[in-house]
Chains A and B, each alone.
Chain A
Amino acid sequence: MSNTLSFEGWVCPAPLRDYPTIVMGHGGGGKLSAELVQHLFLPAFHNAALEQLGDAAVVQAGSARLAFSTDSFVVRPLFFPGGTIGDLAVNGTVNDLAMSGATPLFLSAGFILEEGMPLDQLGAIAASMGAAARQAGVALVTGDTKVVDRGHGDGVFINTSGVGLLPPGLTIGPHLARPGDVVIVSGPIGLHGIAILSVREGLEFGSAVESDTAPLNGLVAAMLARAEAIHALRDPTRGGVASTLNEIAAASRVGISINERALPVPGPVRAACELLGMDPLYVANEGKLVAIVAREAAEELLALMRAHPRGAMATIIGEVTADHPGVVVARTGIGGARVVDMQVGEQLPRIC
């Protein structure tokens, strides 16, 4: 029997990377998304503002420095524990602007509506957008609606774009992390992704998990008291904290080392991730930020964050290092180390 066995060809599942068509993973915020931007959009659009690849572009308009960002929302279900697609659409763009240090001012909203969408649902979504905008202190000043045939949309898709004003001289960006910096996360991670998963797949994990969708511009404004010490800010949405840290490590050509035991992962999120074979580091957040800050100001910034309701549970999770540039390493609970790579596409529940 042994003679017929060939261990030489033990080729096991190499995911195909060169897809000729769009697959779901291109929207997952991992390597496939990054490659789409890098190889398809950047060459077609190329300009200096885009090539910084921040959550928001920073552009000069006369004497004003503006932050400008856009985001589209295709979440299913439209209503979930802790929020609606409308909350996400407002908070998502507000947060993208805030991550550049800008004060978000004006938003646009584009709606792609599916034929048959109940008006009371759309009304509830619009109301939640209005409330979220008021909470964030921004105004929805322009919009557009289109309707597609039944079956060609998921109820409603929303795009929001926004502009914000940057204080003079402020530069915060994913390329500015420096060895010695400290990595702070503003609170418990993984809540949004697990909240969505729990309703989408009909899974329940003991106590209900609610999305953390929230505007972060207030928290950022509070942190700007030590603006010069803030090097990078990012909201770890799809792809989670792991993808965000990988993006910063790559853009700044530095290594990042995190301590797994310091990660604030709520019990129900951990339980859900254990059950599904997922890693909380890759689960989406919609109301958290990751800050890369100068070490000497870390404690002070932490205090500023904790004094704000959106950062009450802020904590230090790691540091920036000159070792292993471009690579994120986690110190594990039992004292080992592992590479925290970028996902290829979407995180999938594992069989084993």
Chain B
Amino acid sequence: MKYLDEFRDPELAGRLFEEIRRLTTRPWALMEVCGGQTHSIIRNGIDQLLPPAIELIHGPGCPVCVTPLEVIDRALAIAARPEVTFCSFGDMLRVPGSSQDLFRVKSAGGDVRVVYSPLDAVKLAQQLPERQVVFFGIGFETTAPANAMAVVQAERLGLHNFSMLVSHVLVPPAISAIMESPQNRVQAFLAAGHVCSVMGTWQYEPLVSRYRVPIVVTGFEPLDVLEGVRRAIAQLEEGRAELENAYPRAVRPEGNRPAQQVLEQVFEVTDRNWRGIGPIPGSGWRLRERYRAFDAEERFAVGHIRTDESPLCHSGEVLQGLLKPNQCPAFGKECTPRTPLGATMVSSEGACAAYFQYGRFIPVGAVEASR
């Protein structure tokens, strides 16, 4: 397939692995920010093929993971209302709130639908004038422009039965939070290519200079990820800390201006809770005053729903690389893929699930060495 096969070429990958091996003289910890990159790394087995000295720490860039519990609970409360048709991206349906998930709401009679674009939800609102159509607007800067467009369109169409539950999060403040954490071990970042294709790279210059940390804008195919790793390692080994763009086929320094304009028009920066991590100032977007009429949180008065998270599992430390999965007291006991306590045990991509599964046939030492 064009534009994909070229970036999955095993021979070129082999050369990049070799080059990375040649460059690496000591241990380094890199964080790939985006969940899509983590997916690609695990799916292609990249982590096992890198030199043992390179540790990839999976970052907080999975929008599904970081959406706070209380927002999920608000979504569930809205979706359960009889007049509501609740639209969401598919993988949010499985995310548990404090006592249930959207699948269960659907099973109990709620009208919950998977859509592929927020604009489909707008269309649905036109087709179902007697229903309240709500779109679950989550994600990073990547999904935000389409969500902003949906609100603009709904206003243009004069739709009074469309609203959005917004819980957008932003990458740069998260990188700041990680760098300022006293436990931080991350020495370089692979920035999320698709976020940068919208926002550009200029937001990352100040982070590079403030924290003296290499940031390499990186894509998602195996060769993209390897090129990002190669450049980050080269910087670290040479003692440089620079902003580099290893994904120029999608990312321009200034980003996508029209998208930024509609974002600016519809959203404003707000403090945001990150699931399991806590509040990060200025790390999210919410609807501006002018578009507040489309805010599902206000329309259905669910803003009062506050939920405390129970810190049962140590996946945060695992994600930071502070703890190996099998060092967690719950690993393999209370927490297994059948009865997962945290995300890292849930999907086959999760670090804990990978340990649990590989641990059945690869000596744990070998798995650790490969990470």
Contact = CB atoms under 8 A, between A and B. Distances in A.
B200 interface: no
B14 interface: yes
B106 A23 contact: yes
Chain B interface extent, by class: 35 or more
Interface in B60-102: 60-66, 89-96, 100-101
B222 A276 contact: no
Nearest to A10: B316
A274 B7 CA distance: 14
A232 B4 CA distance: 35
B91 A349 contact: yes
A336 interface: yes
12 contacts: A9-B277, A11-B343, A13-B343, A19-B103, A25-B103, A201-B116, A334-B8, A349-B114, A351-B89, A351-B138, A352-B139, A352-B142
A40 interface: no
Interface stretch (A80-88, A151-159, A338-346): A338-346
B89 A17 contact: no
B251 to A, nearest CB: 16
Contacts of A348: 90-91, 93-94, 114
A334 B278 contact: no
A12 B65 contact: yes
Query: Nearest 3 CB-CB pairs, A to B?
Result: A336-B45, A10-B316, A12-B343
Interface string B246-286: 00000000000000000000000000000111111100000
Contact of A324 (B14, B139, B342, B361): B361
B309 interface: yes
Given A5-B181, A349-B116, A13 B89 contact: no
Nearest to B4: A274
A327 interface: yes
A323 B319 contact: no
Contacts of B361: 255, 323-325, 327
Interface in A309-352: 323-327, 332-341, 344-345, 348-352
B119 interface: no
A21 to B, nearest CB: 5
Given A6-B316, A327-B357, A341-B357, A12 B342 contact: yes
A19 B342 contact: no
Contacts of A344: 94
Interface in B192-246: 222
Contacts of A2: 177, 180-182
A351 B101 contact: no
A14 B342 contact: yes
Interface of A: 1-2, 4-17, 19, 21-25, 201, 203, 255, 261, 267, 270-271, 274, 276, 323-327, 332-341, 344-345, 348-352
Contacts of A340: 348
B314 A336 contact: no
A276 B90 CA distance: 10
Given A21-B104, A323-B361, A12 B344 contact: yes
B51 to A, nearest CB: 14
B277 A15 contact: no
A8 B314 contact: yes
B111 to A, nearest CB: 13
B332 interface: no
B163 interface: no
B61 A339 contact: no
B46 A336 contact: yes
A341 B314 CA distance: 23
Nearest to A261: B10
Contacts of B309: 9, 11
Interface in B320-371: 320, 322, 337-346, 348, 353-354, 357-358, 360-361
A235 to B, nearest CB: 24
B43 interface: yes
A351 B91 contact: yes
B34 interface: yes
B53 interface: no
Given A7-B320, A332-B45, 17 more contacts: A5-B177, A7-B277, A10-B275, A10-B319, A11-B276, A12-B64, A12-B344, A12-B346, A24-B106, A261-B10, A326-B360, A336-B47, A339-B357, A339-B358, A340-B348, A348-B114, A352-B64
Contact of B222 (A4, A10, A11, A333): A333
A324 B43 CA distance: 18
Contacts of B281: 1
A339 B360 CA distance: 11
B33 to A, nearest CB: 11
A170 to B, nearest CB: 33
B107 interface: yes
A242 B81 CA distance: 37
A131 B33 CA distance: 54
B13 interface: yes
B312 interface: yes
A270 B3 CA distance: 13
